[in-house]
């Protein structure tokens, strides 16, 4: 499985994600500058990493969504290949319309950087098929605009379609929902996928919970392994 990580001006999790993928899976990872118009290496997985693309000017992810590489990102997703947006990458996916909804300012109006627990709500997609449905994982968050928003009718539809993949949860009781969302995300939504299950966006950072417990956790390792296993079983 070949991975491409898109680097925008202001990305700051691009190297963390490269390290997490390459050390966990021992597979090649290419760094692709946002001004490219094509992926030279035909990646199986494209990752839009976290950070502050264009300094979060206008809205987080809004300017990156118009980068030259986004045309190739759209074609990659339309071909059914895996596309993952983490934090700022998730914001780029909603801003480009590849996933529904918007990421609004946290209810606290502050930047929140802390550990978070998530319940795996759905495993019928190309990313979490190897995780335990209903299981709790710990990935940290670090954002200012992480309140997932969708108007009520569309939100109900998203829930009915089973497209909520991760929800903020309590690690002890295993309960999940809005009251466990540090940012005020509607229904406690931390990550969603598209209808086909090949595009996933999430605010928490699995790459920061991967390598040698550097940030006090290792649950992210199983996430990368799940993607690789799904790829080995199903292909692109
Ligand atoms: N870690 C990140 O990707 C941060 C995303 C964005 N800059 C925010 O603060 O909401």
Q: Please give the number of the atom of ligand 1 that sits closest to the Cα of 146.
A: 10
Instruction: Identify whether the C-beta of residue 60 lies closer than 8 Å to the C-beta of residue 144.
Output: yes
Quote the pTM value: 0.97
Whole-Å CA distances, 54 to 2, 49, 62, 88, 118: 27, 13, 9, 11, 29
Instruction: Render pLDDT for 151-199 as a digit per residue (tens, 0 to 9).
Output: 999 999 999 999 999 999 999 999 999 999 999 999 999 999 999 999 9
113 CA to centre of ligand 1 in angstroms: 10
Question: Does pLDDT of 211 surpass 80?
Answer: no
User: 3-234 adopts what CATH topology?
Assistant: Rossmann fold (3.40.50)
Protein residue whose Cα sits closest to atom 4 of ligand 1 = 143
Q: Please give the number of the atom of ligand 1 that sits closest to the Cα of 56.
A: 7
Q: Stretch 26-53: mean pLDDT, rounded?
A: 97
Instruction: Identify whether the C-beta of residue 94 lies closer than 8 Å to the C-beta of residue 147.
Output: no
Instruction: Identify whether the C-beta of residue 47 lies closer than 8 Å to the C-beta of residue 30.
Output: no
pLDDT band for 213, please (50, 70, 90 cuts).
low
Question: Does pLDDT of 148 surpass 90?
Answer: yes
Q: Length of the chain, please?
A: 236
**Helix-helix angle 14-25:220-234, to 10 degrees:** 60
What would the two tokens of residue 197 be? 């299950």
Report pLDDT for 205: 97
Indicate whether residue 223 lines ligand 1 (CB < 6 A): no
Indicate whether residue 73 lines ligand 1 (CB < 6 A): no
Q: Return the number of other C-beta atoms located less than 10 Å from residue 152's C-beta.
A: 8
CB neighbour burial string for 92-127, b if at least 16 within 10 angstroms, e if fewer: bbbbbebbbbbbbbbeeeeebeebbbbbbbbbebbb
Report pLDDT for 235: 82
Counting other chains too, the contacts that 180-184 makes at CB distance below 8 Å and 24 or more residues apart are 180/117, 181/147, 182/106, 182/108, 182/112, 182/114, 182/116, 182/141, 182/146, 183/106, 183/107, 183/108, 183/112, 183/141, 183/143, 183/146, 183/147, 184/106, 184/107, 184/108, 184/147
> Hey, which of 6, 10, 87 would you mutate to test ligand 1's pocket, going by the most ligand atoms within 8 Å of its Cβ?
87
**32: which residues sit within 8 A by CB, 6+ positions away?**
4, 5, 6, 7, 39, 40, 69
Instruction: Identify whether the C-beta of residue 220 lies closer than 8 Å to the C-beta of residue 209.
Output: yes
pLDDT band for 216, please (50, 70, 90 cuts).
confident
Report pLDDT for 212: 64
Q: What number is the ipTM of this complex?
A: 0.96
Protein residue whose Cα sits closest to atom 7 of ligand 1 = 52
Q: What residue segments make up the domains of the chain, in order of their start?
A: 3-234
């Amino acid at each position: 499985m070949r991975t491409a990580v898109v680097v925008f001006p202001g990305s700051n999790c691009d190297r963390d994600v490269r390290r997490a993928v390459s050390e966990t899976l021992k597979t090649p990872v290419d760094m692709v500058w946002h001004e490219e118009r094509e992926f030279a290496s035909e990646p199986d997985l494209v990752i839009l990493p976290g950070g502050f693309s264009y300094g979060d000017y206008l809205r987080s992810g809004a300017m990156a969504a118009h980068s030259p590489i986004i045309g190739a990102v759209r074609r990659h997703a339309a071909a059914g290949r895996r596309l993952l947006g983490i934090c700022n990458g998730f914001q780029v996916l909603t801003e480009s319309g590849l996933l529904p909804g918007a990421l609004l300012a946290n209810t606290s109006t502050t930047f929140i950087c802390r550990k978070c627990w998530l319940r795996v709500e759905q495993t019928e997609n190309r990313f979490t098929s190897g995780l335990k449905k209903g299981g709790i994982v710990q990935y940290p968050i670090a954002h200012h605009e992480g309140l997932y928003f969708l108007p009520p009718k569309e939100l109900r539809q998203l829930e009915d379609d089973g497209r909520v993949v991760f929800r903020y949860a309590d690690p002890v009781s295993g309960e999940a929902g809005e009251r466990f969302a540090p940012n005020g995300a509607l229904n406690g939504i931390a990550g969603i996928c598209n209808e086909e299950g090949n595009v996933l966006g999430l605010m928490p950072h699995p790459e920061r919970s991967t390598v040698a417990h550097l940030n006090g956790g290792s649950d992210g390792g199983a996430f990368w392994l799940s993607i690789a296993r799904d790829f080995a079983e199903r292909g692109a």
